[in-house]
Copies of this chain bind each other. A is one copy, B any other.
Amino acid sequence: MNKISSINEFVIKFANVNGSGSASANQMFAKGIFRSGIPVSPKNIFPSNIQGLPTWFEIRASEKGYLGRKAGIDFMVAMNPQSYTQDVAEINPGGYLLYDSSWKRDFKREDINIIEVPLTTLCVDEFNNPKTRLLFKNLVYIGALSYLMNINKDIFIKLIEEQFKGKEKLIAPNVQALEIGFKYAKKHLVDACKIKVNQANLTDGMILTNGNNAGGLGCVYGGATVCTWYPITPSTSLAESYKKYCDQLRVDENTGKNKFAFVQAEDELASIGMAIGANWNGARAFTATSGPGISLMTEFIGLAYFAEIPVVIFNIQRGGPSTGMPTRTQQSDILSCAYASHGDTKHVILIPSDPKECFEFSADSFDISDRLQTPIFVLSDLDIGMNDWTCPEFEWDDNRKFDRGKVLSKDDLDSMESWGRYLDVDGDGIPFRTLPGTHPEKGAYFTRGSSHDEYARYIEDGEVNARNLSRILKKFEGAYKFLPKPIFKQETNASSNGLIYFGSTEAAMQESLDQLSVSGFPIDAMRIRSFPFGPEVWNFIDQHETIFLVEQNRDAQMKTLIVSEGNVNPEKFISILCFDGSPITANFISESISDVLLNKNTSQPAEEIK
């Protein structure tokens, strides 16, 4: 029998039953590899259900640092008989299947290696309580894997100790379960597996965390004092992260009082309304939501746009439209954010690609929003938000100061002859604002979503209103100056083919570019990190004949944005679209592109790849 043999490069997948406690064990396994010094990208593939349905956990380990999802499983831990058929089919030839052989089974595949561990039997022998027994089963397979893959068992023992800090009673039985598995494997499964983890130091200076954790923390660092939200997968954990870090970092030591407010609103209309109200008053406030929430916020977003009130909105995208696939990932809210609300509106968007950027853009978003006095979307997705990523440590410069933008202080007001809330004094379209309560006599104005003049007075004069709308557009057009610039994979362009991508597809991109290079199709790549686009984006497009645009949606939404905002000829673009809810793979991108480029030399180009 052929056995896949690999060191520090493999994909392992766990098939479990939702609600059986497997996620935390699997997470621990991922962390074990991470602590062995190997970059990992664990992905939790869970149903929109609390208990009972199939759930999967996929871990890619790659010393090359290729952390995108990869189809084809090298090692399958099949814990759920309900999904056996499907799970077994996914295993690469020569790959491994570990299952609970308490109930023996013929999997009808000759080309894979079956590893039998009688998990239930082992647990029944050692643990009495049937409920905890279920949980310990997970630890038993981790123990077995530790032996099979040669991952230092002590790492897992340490992880168990950390996990049960404060509940020390639980440490011993968990370690015991781990040991059972380890011992069993050592006794019965010598040489069963040729996939190994060799300790390295590739994760030094790296952390393993998810984008929502990072985003919540970024809000704390960005000075947000108000979080108003409504629960919705996959954004909930961002709000919860903010709360968690505030509880640690923002409770006054003397008074025990909170230097933050955390409000679970009654719905998304209220959560955005509250965030707008708080920002109007000068407190930095944000809300976090996903597609359906964005739709519900649409009216309020238009108000904030037109009345020029800063507000930060995290949209952790999931599979749309409608309720869609709440536990799957997509990048399909681009248009609904960029052009949210009736009337002429355009909105600033930041697009992080990993937890590190989630932290940074989250903190930055408050400065940008204050600076531009407009809503800012931070457009993440389920893949970044809820899955752990191996990424560089967070950084903070203590010299950095909040940029509150053009806010007038009491002294400013005292020294001014006159002031108009919506006057374009500096020629950049950005007016000056005051915060309520700043000055006893000056600086009061009336905020409204109805038409108003430069002095915030209600007007119905069409020309005055048009002038105001044009100024807001001017402000928008200059916004790119304050936004994260695109990232280029190459120092200088080397190809007539360009590739544009953004957000979570970053994970697959380096691998794909390397593959293309190897296949003889080197290609220049640019990652967009914000909207509206700046000159770097337009230059890159100008400099390339053909542009591949990789998106995780059906309708090539980013292309629409580029083409319509830049007066760029759409014929230049070839869209590579993946919208099945799974993170895109390097292979899919590379194959799509090389197919086109091969065809190009021979026949007509395929217009769109889905």
Binding site for B on A (CB under 8 A): 47-48, 291-292, 294-296, 298-299, 301-303, 305-307, 319-328, 330, 332-333, 335-336, 339-346, 448-451, 460, 462-463, 465-466, 469-470, 473, 553-555, 557, 559-560, 563-564, 567-571, 579-582, 610
Contact in complex: A328, B460 (CB < 8 Å): yes
A582 to B581, CA, bound (A): 46
A463 surroundings in chain B (CB, below 8 A): 580
Which residue in chain B gives the minimum CB-CB distance to A327?
A: B460
A346 pairs with B555, CB closer than 8 A: yes
* Residues of B with C-beta under 8 A to A333: 342-343
Q: How far is the CB of A68 from chain B (nearest CB, A)?
A: 16
| 5 smallest beta-carbon distances between A and B, as pairs | A320-B343, A321-B343, A322-B449, A462-B580, A291-B342
Q: Which of A47, A321, A346, A470 has the most CB of B within 10 A?
A: A321
Q: Is the Cβ of A580 less than 8 Å from the Cβ of B466?
A: yes
Min CB–CB distance A410 → chain B (angstroms): 30
**A319 contact set on B, CB distance < 8 A:** 343, 451, 462, 465
Residues of B within 8 A of A332 (CB): 342-344
- Cβ of A299 and Cβ of B292 under 8 Å apart? yes
Q: Is the CB of A324 within 8 A of B470?
A: no
- Structural contact, A465 and B325, CB atoms closer than 8 A: yes
Query: Is the Cβ of B325 less than 8 Å from the Cβ of A307?
Result: no
Number of copies: 2
A295-B301, A323-B448 known, 15 other contacts, Cβ within 8 Å: A298-B336, A305-B322, A320-B343, A323-B449, A325-B460, A325-B465, A328-B462, A336-B339, A462-B580, A462-B581, A469-B554, A470-B554, A567-B570, A568-B570, A569-B570
A272 → chain B, closest Cβ, in Å? 12
Task: Verify B579–A344 contact, CB threshold 8 A.
Answer: yes
Known A-B contacts A332-B343, A343-B320, A470-B554; the reply to A460 vs B48 at CB < 8 A is yes
Interface centre among A306, A336, A340 (most CB of B within 10 A): A336
Set of chain B residues within 8 Å of A569, measured between Cβ atoms: 569-571
Give bound CA distance, A233 to B339, whole Å: 23
Inter-chain contacts of A324 with B (CB < 8 A): 306, 343, 449-451, 465
For residue A564, which residues in chain B have a CB less than 8 angstroms away from its CB?
A: 559-560, 563-564, 570
Kindly list chain B residues whose C-beta atoms are within 8 Å of the C-beta of A553: 344
A178 CB, min distance to chain B CBs, angstroms = 32
* A449, closest chain B residue (CB): B322
Alpha-carbon gap, A469 to B307, bound state (A): 37
CA distance A326 to B322 in the complex (A): 29
Q: Pick the residue among B322, B336, B465, B581 that contacts A580 (CB under 8 A).
A: B465
For residue A168, give the distance in angstroms from its CB to the closest CB of chain B. Answer: 39
What is the minimal beta-carbon distance from A570 to any residue of chain B, in angstroms? 4
Q: List 29 A-B contacts (CB under 8 A).
A: A291-B343, A292-B302, A294-B342, A295-B299, A295-B302, A296-B298, A298-B336, A306-B324, A320-B341, A321-B344, A322-B341, A324-B343, A328-B460, A332-B344, A336-B339, A344-B557, A344-B579, A462-B581, A466-B554, A466-B610, A469-B554, A469-B579, A470-B554, A473-B554, A559-B564, A563-B564, A563-B570, A567-B570, A570-B570
> In whole angstroms, how far apart are the Cα atoms of A563 and B553 in the complex?
19
Q: Which chain B residues border A295 with CB–CB below 8 Å?
A: 298-299, 301-302, 341-342
Of B450, B460, B571, which contacts A567 at CB under 8 A? B571
Verify B450–A326 contact, CB threshold 8 A: yes
Task: With CB as the reference atom, state the residue of chain B lying closest to A566.
Answer: B570
A466 CB → nearest B CB, Å: 4
Q: Complex Cα distance A460/B333, Å? A: 20
Given A332-B343, A465-B580, CB of A610 within 8 Å of CB of B470: yes
Of A299, A303, A332, A343, the most chain B CB neighbours within 10 A belong to: A343
Distance to closest chain B CB from A409 (angstroms): 28
Task: Kindly state the separation between the CA atoms of A298 and B305 in the bound complex, as whole angstroms.
Answer: 18
Give the distance in Å from the alpha carbon of A327 to the alpha carbon of B459 in the complex.
Answer: 12
Closest to A305 in B: B321
Closest beta carbon of chain B to A80's beta carbon, Å: 14
Complex: A557 Cα to B610 Cα, angstroms: 27
Give the docked Cα–Cα distance between A449 and B571 (Å): 34
* Minimal beta-carbon separation of A6 from chain B (angstroms): 27
- Contact among B322, B451, B560 for A306, CB-based, below 8 A: B322
Cβ 8 A contact of A342, one of B336, B449, B559:
B336
Of A301, A327, A344, A564, most B-chain CB atoms within 10 Å:
A344
- Provide the bound-state CA to CA distance between A323 and B346, in Å: 16
> How many angstroms from the CA of A322 to the CA of B343 in the assembled complex?
7
The answer for the CA separation of A465 and B460 in the assembled complex, in Å, is 48
**In the bound complex, what is the Cα–Cα distance between A563 and B572 (angstroms)?**
13
Whether B325 and A302, one on each chain, are in contact in the complex, defined by CB atoms closer than 8 angstroms, is: no
Which of B344, B570, B580 is in CB contact (< 8 Å) with A555?
A: B344
The answer for the CA separation of A291 and B555 in the assembled complex, in Å, is: 24
A336 to B295, CA, bound (A): 11
Return the chain B residue nearest A581 by Cβ: B462
> A340–B321 Cα gap in the complex (Å)?
10
Residues of B within 8 A of A342 (CB): 291-292, 294-295, 320-321, 332-333, 336
